[in-house]
Structure 1
Amino acid sequence: MTYTGPIKGLLLDLDGTLYHGTRMIPGADRLIGQLIEQNIPFRYVTNNSSLTPGAFADRLQGMGIPATAKEVCTSAEAAAAYIAKVKPRANVFVIGESGLRQAAEEAGLTIVEEGADFVVQGIDRELSYDKIAKAVEQLLGGAESILTNPDLLLPSEHGLRPGAGSIGAMIQAASGKVPTVIGKPSTILMNFALNSLGVSASQSWVVGDNLATDIAAGKAAGCGTVLVLTGLTTADNLESYAAKAGCRPDVICADLEALSSYITERNGQ
């Protein structure tokens, strides 16, 4: 990262960065208020494909964090946009929840049970053997495989649960098809979010709590990166996680208050 000017835009992770489940991380509301006050554009960027942007905005607002649907970029939206660009009006077989199905429809894709051009898969908490079998059938028949995000585990009220990547591993093992991955650390979601943001990568910063996804994605996209120690990564596990991820952030902030101070200092406010 060589850009030394002011921060012109931010791509913000959600879970572990701005909230834990349904609980706002202290300072998240003040951070977003600061960005709005200082006219710094931002987008909420999430690997979670289960909800629509509007639903994510409602969740944030319910915690007291300002948000609109247009400020949310999901792996579901990016996946649908990717498919629509490769093959407009493509037939897709969907394994996923409402966020992914709605994104596919809004992108002009046709959801089908057979004859699919693409199998697009995200988290599906109503997954069945029949769905897996149909997906594999489509892939063996020539459909291309799209994975919204590679997360093997996801946080829940009851601890960690299998994520979209775990489902994808089963489909890949059965079909032999390696999927195109959309979500972090892939640059596909990041470029989708940067296009929505309208700010160049070199002038944008990615903020997140996960070195292997958020920070790795920011690095790959050419953005500045800020690791906040508010979620997965802590001061105690930082070095081991950095070694596993093979990357380090440009800046480390202990919490969101420290991030707010860094933005103020960087931008000379």
Structure 2
Amino acid sequence: MYSIDFQKKKGFICDMDGVIYHGSQVLPGVPEFIRWLNEEKKSYLFLTNNSGSTPKELQQKLARMGLDVPEEHFYTSALATAAFLKSQAPGCSVYALGEAGLLNALYDADITMNDIDPDYVVIGESQNYSLNTITKAINLVLGGAKLIGANSDVSAPGEGITVPACGALVAPIEMATGTRAYFCGKPNPLMMRTGLRLLKCHSEDAVMVGDRMDTDVISGLESGMSTVLVLSGISTPETLKTFSYRPSMVLNGVGDIVRAAKGKLKTAK
């Protein structure tokens, strides 16, 4: 691991859950971090694997927490999924299990809903996941529909609990059909390349900040970015030891990025 000169970096891609907030609570140091990004005129993007919310809903969620971040600074696995399908099969139809973030992204990409003979079965985080919906999805895949997952995360932090994420919801469909899903979210390099393009930034000038080794750090590493693992979410110093790769830096939270940039960070774990 090595130190990053944050002042020289032009762009920051940040995960959200466990990095910016837990549930409805802003994490320590986040307001200072966002203020620093704006003051230093850094390009930044909040990039989340959670497919449930639209960028506008994420913008409003942060606004309720007292954080002013314009809508264009958000990119989700739902948008990545819709962009992938539009590039692969323009005008295709899907059977989708998901929330507003996924459904709106699909509609905006001119993709239609079809529960009879869709081209794709698309799974995201969903409150309507049930035996009936999973049975429907299984039989559509067995009938020839291709299986897509918004992201491969198997769990996510909730309000003091761990909740199943998209990867866990897709798994029964994979097992019942013998079909492997294609996941569009992190660590898929397509999502990271889109993020860098939105930042108008080269990978060597950008930093990936996240709380997960298996999605955030690996996606930044494989995209040629510097990587920061923050210990404010899923990962701990103990879980870090189980991976064969390492982030560029390990910090307690995003507030440490500001302190490091100003030369005031005394110790970094």
- Return the TM-score normalized by structure 1: 0.91
Deviates more, 1:153-162 or 1:122-131: 153-162
Give the conservation status (yes or no) of the 8 Å contact 1:7–1:263. Answer: no
Give the Å deviation of 1:192. 2.2
Give the Å deviation of 1:56. 0.6
Residue identity in the other structure for 2:28:
P
- Counterpart-to-counterpart distance in 1, 2:262 and 2:149: 38
Give the conservation status (yes or no) of the 8 Å contact 1:24–1:63. Answer: yes
Residue identity in the other structure for 1:245:
F
Give the conservation status (yes or no) of the 8 Å contact 1:89–1:108. Answer: yes
- Match of 1:256? 254
> Cα distance 1:8–1:129, how it changes in 2: closer, same or farther (>3 A)?
same
RMSD: 1.9
Deviates more, 1:171-180 or 1:255-264: 255-264
Secondary structure of 1:230 counterpart? coil
1:40 aligns with 2:42: yes
Give the conservation status (yes or no) of the 8 Å contact 1:216–1:245. Answer: no
Residue identity in the other structure for 1:249:
P
- Match of 2:134? 132
Give the Å deviation of 1:118. 1.2
> Cα distance 1:254–1:161, how it changes in 2: closer, same or farther (>3 A)?
closer
Kindly report which structure 2 residues correspond to 1:146-161, keeping only aligned pairs within 5 A, or say none: 146-157=148-159, 159-161=161-163
- Counterpart-to-counterpart distance in 2, 1:247 and 1:92: 37
- Match of 1:71? 73
Deviates more, 1:90-99 or 1:4-13: 4-13
- Counterpart-to-counterpart distance in 2, 1:242 and 1:264: 26
Give the conservation status (yes or no) of the 8 Å contact 1:54–1:69. Answer: yes
Deviations 1:248-268 (A, max 9, x none): 110122232221123345xxx
Kindly report which structure 2 residues correspond to 1:186-225, keeping only aligned pairs within 5 A, or say none: 186-225=188-227
Residue identity in the other structure for 1:246:
S
Give the conservation status (yes or no) of the 8 Å contact 2:33–2:255. Answer: yes
- Match of 2:87? 85
Residue 120 (structure 1) aligned to one of 119, 122, 133: 122
Kindly report which structure 2 residues correspond to 1:230-249, keeping only aligned pairs within 5 A, or say none: 230-234=232-236, 238=237, 240-249=238-247
Give the conservation status (yes or no) of the 8 Å contact 2:122–2:150. Answer: yes
Deviates more, 1:45-54 or 1:130-139: 130-139
Residue identity in the other structure for 1:171:
I
- Counterpart-to-counterpart distance in 1, 2:123 and 2:195: 20
- Counterpart-to-counterpart distance in 1, 2:156 and 2:234: 11
Secondary structure of 1:92 counterpart? strand
Secondary structure of 2:173 counterpart? helix
Residue identity in the other structure for 1:259:
I
Deviations 1:149-178 (A, max 9, x none): 112122222511222111110010111111
- Return the TM-score normalized by structure 2: 0.91
Secondary structure of 1:146 counterpart? strand
Deviations 1:179-225 (A, max 9, x none): 11112222232122222222112211100111122111111222110
Q: In structure 2, list runs of 5 or more residues that go unmatched.
A: 264-269
Q: How many residues align?
A: 261
Q: In structure 1, list runs of 5 or more residues that go unmatched.
A: none
- Counterpart-to-counterpart distance in 1, 2:261 and 2:105: 33
- Counterpart-to-counterpart distance in 1, 2:97 and 2:255: 39
1:29 aligns with 2:31: yes
Residue identity in the other structure for 2:164:
P
Deviations 1:64-101 (A, max 9, x none): 22212211010000001001001111111101111100
